[in-house]
Amino acid sequence: MAARTPTSTTYKRIQSALVEPLLSALASETDPEDDPPKAKRIRTSSDTRAVLKRNACFEDPELDGHMEGAILKKKLLRRMFEIASQPETRDSNRRKMYALWKEGAEDDGADDDR
C-alpha cells in the first residue's frame, strides 16, 4: 500500500503509524519488560513490543519459528527495498522507501551493496 498510494498523506501515515514503530521495536536491544515505567503512557506499550518480539517471524511461523528482532528487521528492510524496486511503485514513494531503507541499514551498521 505504501508503494502505490497516490497521496503523500497516506504514505506518511503508514510510515509513522506502522513502519517506523515496527522497525524501532525490532531494533531495540533491551527487553521492553526491563524498561522503567514512564510517567505518561505511549501508544506502543512495552507489553505490545514484548509480544511482538516473542512472536516475530518472517514468512511461515510453522517453518521459521521465532526470529530475533535484528534479523527480522534486516529481512523486512530488504523486502521493502525489493518492493520499492518494482515498476508498479510510484516514483515519489520509491524515493521515500529507499531513504527509509538506507536509514535502517545505516542504523544497523550494515554494509550492503545496494
CB 71 within 8 A of CB 104: no
**Domain boundary assignment for the chain:** 8-29+45-108
pLDDT at residue 69 in the model: 78
The three cell numbers of residue 102 are 538506507
Q: Considering the entire predicted model, what is its pTM?
A: 0.68
* Buried/exposed code over 24-47 (b: 16+ C-beta within 10 A; e: otherwise): ebbebeeebeeeeeeeeeeeeebe
CB 92 within 8 A of CB 8: yes
The identity of residue 6, as a single letter, is P
Q: What is the gyration radius of the CA atoms in the chain, in angstroms?
A: 15
Angle at 100 between CA 99 and CA 106, to 5 degrees: 90
- pLDDT tens-digit profile of 9-19? 999 999 999 88
pLDDT at residue 93 in the model: 93
